[in-house]
Amino acid sequence: MSVSKVKKGVREISPLDVYMLLPRTNCGKCGESNCMAFATKLVNREVLLELCKPLIEEEKYGSQYSKLKELLAPPIREVVIGVGETAVKVGGKLVMYRHELTYTNPTPIAIDVTDEMPEDELLKRIERINNLKYTYIGRTIKLDMVAVRSTSNDPAKFKLAVQRVMSTTKLPIILCTFNPDVMKAGLEVAYERRPLIYAATELNWRQMADLALMYNCPLAVFAPNNIGLLKSLTKTLIEYGVEDLLLDPGTFPDEGIADTIMNFTMIRRSACKLGDNLLGFPIIGVPMTAWSLKDAPKEVLQWKEACLAAMLIVRYADLLIMHSLEGWSLLPNLILRANIYTDPRKPVAVEPGLRVYGSPDENSPVLVTSNYALTFFTVQSDIESAGINCYLVVVDTEGYAVESAVAGRKMTAQTVADALKSSGIESKVKHRYVIIPGLAARLSGEIEELTGWKVLVGPRDSSFIQAFLKENWPPKVS
């Protein structure tokens, strides 16, 4: 592999480019009705090329297959770290901006341990890394990896720490040391788990490259604030035979934020927009460098680390190494990652209509909410966990949350009235009281006029539904 001429940007590939290289037999084995439909889906990254069986199996298509693979390859290489079901895919980005298509492979977050930590402390950290979980829009979000740092610079100590980590977690591991002897000791026990070798530098690159080849593990390249060197190292390592590389241009806290953001941005643009293959690798951000700032209370360092992480999740980091294990500082970034990596092509909406919880009867409350997925799942989980028997009418707000739906006229008296009507709720309850979200309070009057139902303004947050009902249901007849 060497620097080739500028490759077509992923967005510039037309379905026709792809179609011309497919078998064009319209055999339908991929599940599409014809090759053109398959080509369109390929360009939109909705299917895998390997679904085209003839292309893989028939020898005559061999060269077309490899041409297609190259044509459709992401500008940022995808690297796998770890094995089995906890393995993470890193990079593989198809575009620079998420609106150009979508972002793939949400930034994994690795938490560090060291080889000089007392055993009980290390085990406690690993246990926390394993178990930290939060439910968000019906999904479980969690931490992804463990970075083992050698602060001792002692191969035996490192080996022992790596062994302890391996026996207590299945998560993929990053081995962190610039000393090849220490790295070798870690790899000897961990290589079957395909850890990331962190890192090759200007000084140790040959020994690290030998280790990467010998153990077939991905290799990180570290050249702080020196993209020229970073590029020279990737060029050298590729020639040396190492292909699964990651780039660390350095994460600098405080006033270093300027150059950090600049470096990440220049690397990603060079790879995505100018076809620079030598920079077409996943980028590692290390927000835990915030902990190198001295004389600050730990809450301040946790705060600064979280802020650095947030900026790097937004600006192109494909993997993060962090130190803080505090829930309050991790949660915003775990959610931010989920948000930024949401596929912008899919509306985050649920089907509008009537939902029934528990076993409501003709006297049970009727609630209204928006069809934005997060709002809906939050309301649903609050209703369910409180064990409330009720009806929930989900209004079609085109995927907007209540507050923006009201502001943007997606939730209006009319759309609420339509939803009540089409839900068939009128025949299910004998009362005519509807509870609307507190954030839609201003619609009350109009809804009453339009529907003839009495409006009760519910809480601004669904966590208070239970308390609200205790107080206000059944409604006091006025």
Partner 1 sequence: MVERKGGADEGALIKIGPKLLDLLREFGEIELENVEIEAEELEIWIPSATVVTPPAAAPPKVVPAKPMEILKAEFEPPIQTYQGRIVEVKLGATRSEGGTREKVVKIGGEAAPSFYIFEEAPPNPPVISADVFDMEVPLPRAIKMHVQDVIGDPAAWAKLAVDKFGADLVTVHLVSTDPLRKDASPSDAAKTIEKVLQAVKVPVIVGGSGDPKKDAEVFKKIAEVAHGERVMLSSVTLDMAEAGLLGEIAKAAREHGHVILAFTAMDLNQAKELNRKLYDYLPRDSIVMDLTTAALGYGLEYSFTVHERARLAALAGDVELQHPTSSGTTNAWAAREAWLKLGSEWEPRELRGPLWETVTALTLLLAGVDIFMMMHPAAIRTLKEVIGNLYKRGMVKPESIADWVSIKI
Which residues inside 303-362 make contact with partner 1, applying CB under 8 A?
303, 306-307, 310-311, 314-315, 323, 327-329, 331-333, 335-336, 338-340, 342, 344, 348
Q: Check residue 471 for interaction with partner 1 (CB under 8 A).
A: no
What is the sign, positive or negative, of the torsion defined by CA atoms of 447, 453, 459, 465? negative
Nearer to partner 1, 53 or 346 (CB): 346
Q: Check residue 206 for interaction with partner 1 (CB under 8 A).
A: yes
Q: Can you tell me which of 213, 354, 386, 450 binds partner 1, judged by CB under 8 A?
A: 213
The window from 22-30, 33-41, 73-81, 408-416 that contacts partner 1 (CB under 8 A) reads 408-416
Nearer to partner 1, 225 or 389 (CB): 225
Nearer to partner 1, 314 or 450 (CB): 314
The window from 66-74, 96-104, 417-425, 429-437 that contacts partner 1 (CB under 8 A) reads 96-104
Q: Is the peptide bond before 199 cis (omega within 30 degrees of 0)?
A: yes
Closest contact distance (angstroms) between CB of 92 and partner 1 is 19
Q: Can you tell me which of 29, 36, 51, 259 binds partner 1, judged by CB under 8 A?
A: 259
Q: Check residue 205 for interaction with partner 1 (CB under 8 A).
A: yes
Q: Which residues of 147-182 are buried (b: 16+ CB within 10 A; e: fewer)?
A: bbbbebebbebbbbbbebbbebbebbbbbbbbbbeb
- Token pair 């009350």 is at which residue? 444
Q: Are 129 and 146 in contact (CB under 8 A)?
A: yes
Write each residue from 50 to 79 as x if it is in contact with partner 1 (CB under 8 A), else as -, in one continuous string: ------------------------------
Q: Can you tell me which of 5, 99, 430, 476 binds partner 1, judged by CB under 8 A?
A: 99
The residue length of the chain stands at 478
Nearer to partner 1, 53 or 206 (CB): 206
Question: What CA–CA distance (Å, rounded) separates 351 from 343?
Answer: 18
Q: Check residue 6 for interaction with partner 1 (CB under 8 A).
A: no
Q: Check residue 291 for interaction with partner 1 (CB under 8 A).
A: yes
The window from 4-12, 52-60, 165-173, 458-466 that contacts partner 1 (CB under 8 A) reads 458-466
Q: Can you tell me which of 442, 467, 474, 475 binds partner 1, judged by CB under 8 A?
A: 442
The window from 8-16, 72-80, 356-364, 434-442 that contacts partner 1 (CB under 8 A) reads 434-442
Q: Check residue 236 for interaction with partner 1 (CB under 8 A).
A: yes
- Bridge partner list, 367: 392, 435
Q: Can you tell me which of 63, 407, 424, 426 binds partner 1, judged by CB under 8 A?
A: 407
Q: Are 288 and 322 in contact (CB under 8 A)?
A: yes
Element (H, E) at 465: helix 465-472
**CB-side exposure of 379: number of CA atoms within 13 Å?**
30
Nearer to partner 1, 110 or 429 (CB): 110
Task: Give the dihedral of Cα atoms 250, 256, 262, 268; nearest 10 deg.
Answer: 20
Residues 6+ apart with CB under 8 A from 416: 368, 395, 434, 436, 440, 443, 447, 451
CA-atom Rg of the chain in angstroms: 27
Can you tell me whether residue 42 is helix, strand or coil? helix
Q: What is the DSSP string of 277-304?
A: GGG-S-BEE-GGGGGGS-S--HHHHHHH
Q: Can you tell me which of 130, 178, 386, 466 binds partner 1, judged by CB under 8 A?
A: 178
- Token pair 């994460």 is at which residue? 251
- Among 396, 472, 403, 391, which residue's Cα sits nearest to residue 442? 403
Nearer to partner 1, 53 or 133 (CB): 133
Window 367 to 396, contacts with partner 1 (CB under 8 A): 372, 374-375, 378
Closest contact distance (angstroms) between CB of 104 and partner 1 is 15
Nearer to partner 1, 216 or 422 (CB): 216
Taking each continuous run of H as one helix and of E as one strand, the counts in the chain are: 17, 17
Question: What CA–CA distance (Å, rounded) separates 269 from 445?
Answer: 52
Q: Check residue 198 for interaction with partner 1 (CB under 8 A).
A: yes
**DSSP assignment, residue 427?**
G
N- to C-terminal Cα separation, the chain: 79
Secondary-structure breakdown of the chain: helix, strand, coil percentages, each rounded to the nearest 5:
50, 15, 35
Q: Check residue 193 for interaction with partner 1 (CB under 8 A).
A: no
Closest contact distance (angstroms) between CB of 108 and partner 1 is 18
Q: What number of chain residues touch partner 1 (CB under 8 A)? A: 112
Q: Which amino acid is at 412?
A: T
Tokens of 353: 């209509």
Closest contact distance (angstroms) between CB of 453 and partner 1 is 19
Question: What CA–CA distance (Å, rounded) separates 366 from 391?
Answer: 5
The window from 10-18, 40-48, 63-71, 245-253 that contacts partner 1 (CB under 8 A) reads 245-253
Nearer to partner 1, 43 or 199 (CB): 199
Nearer to partner 1, 241 or 424 (CB): 241
